[in-house]
Amino acid sequence: MSQDKTEKMEYFISLLDDYIDGKLGASQTSEIEQALKEDPFLNEVLKQHVQARANMRTAGEQELRSKFANSFDPIPEVEKPKSNTLKIFLVVLMLLGLAFASYLYFSSQEVSQEQRPFTASVEEQDGRLLLASVEDPSYDLLRSERDSMIADSWQQAVQYFIAEDYEEADSIITSLEQDTVFIQDHKGKLSLMKGVANLKMEKYNIADQALSEISSDNPYYDQAEWYLALTYFYAGDTAEAKKMLEQIISNEDHYKRSEAQRYFDQLAKE
């Protein structure tokens, strides 16, 4: 391509944008349209030029689109709803916790009620150990669930005993003594309750008789020893009391060994 032709081509190319945009005057428009008719190369350049402009606008639109997309506030993370399994697990956990708390509460209530007789120390007045403060046997040991009528009577006796209505308790126990089958199976606990009830009512002879009926192979024998010693103690039978107390003290495994020593010491002072 000659220098002259190259310069002419550059001239027409420089007019292309204004030509496409319709900004050329009539003479220049006529001039470039004539050149386009005569020169296939200029035609090709025009085609490429239009393509290039379209590309610029496409790139521009992409840039603007990104600008819009980035102008939104960040989409907040949507908290995933907890699954039903988790909800059920949490509810079950809560119920278990509640049940455990209830268990602890009621257990502590029972323990405090049940342990009171065992843990309460015998009160003294003027250096004397008081009968009224003598602890009762474990109520648990006195409970039975044998056939309904007997069980009901027995439970009633226990309730009276707990309520310290020893007379009513003794009355029911006396009626239960008529049931030889019951006596056969429950001699120990029946005699223990009868003995302790009468001890509390200061009916020492009946207490002595009832408690003495509990044989050494009976599971309630250790309690019978203890309440028998107390019966003698409060009945004023010092010799028998000392004898029974020494028996308890000499037994290293006896559950009332230390208290028996205290009573024995009391008797030794007198």
Partner 1 sequence: MQEEKFSDQDLIEKIKAGGKEFEDISMWMFNEYKGFLPKIKEKLKLPQQQMQDAYADALVKLIRHLRDGSFRGDSKVSSYFYTIFYNTSVDVSRKNASNKNMQTQELLEHDARESDLLNLIDNKDEAAQVITVMKSMGVLCQRILMDWGYYGYSMKEIATRSDLSNAESARSMKYKCLKKLRELLNTKMYNV
- Positions touching partner 1 (CB under 8 A) are 13-14, 45, 48-66, 68-69, 71-72, 75
Q: CA–CA separation, 220 vs 188, rounded Å?
A: 6
Q: CA–CA separation, 152 vs 84, rounded Å?
A: 48
Nearer to partner 1, 51 or 258 (CB): 51
Name the minimum Å distance from CB 72 to partner 1: 5
Nearer to partner 1, 20 or 104 (CB): 20
CA-CA-CA-CA torsion for 181, 186, 191, 193, nearest 10 degrees?
-120
Q: CA–CA separation, 187 vs 190, rounded Å?
A: 5
Nearer to partner 1, 38 or 73 (CB): 73
CA distances from 257 to 128, 183, 240 (A): 19, 29, 17
Name the minimum Å distance from CB 70 to partner 1: 9
Amino acid letter, residue 83: S
Nearer to partner 1, 46 or 199 (CB): 46
Residues 6+ apart with CB under 8 A from 262: 122, 129
Name the minimum Å distance from CB 59 to partner 1: 5
Burial of residue 241 (number of CB atoms within 10 Å: 0-12, 13-18, 19+): buried
Name the minimum Å distance from CB 9 to partner 1: 12
Name the minimum Å distance from CB 61 to partner 1: 5
Nearer to partner 1, 76 or 127 (CB): 76
3-class SS at 194?
helix
CA distances from 118 to 136, 172, 259 (A): 8, 25, 11
Nearer to partner 1, 69 or 239 (CB): 69
3-class SS at 124?
strand
Name the minimum Å distance from CB 79 to partner 1: 14
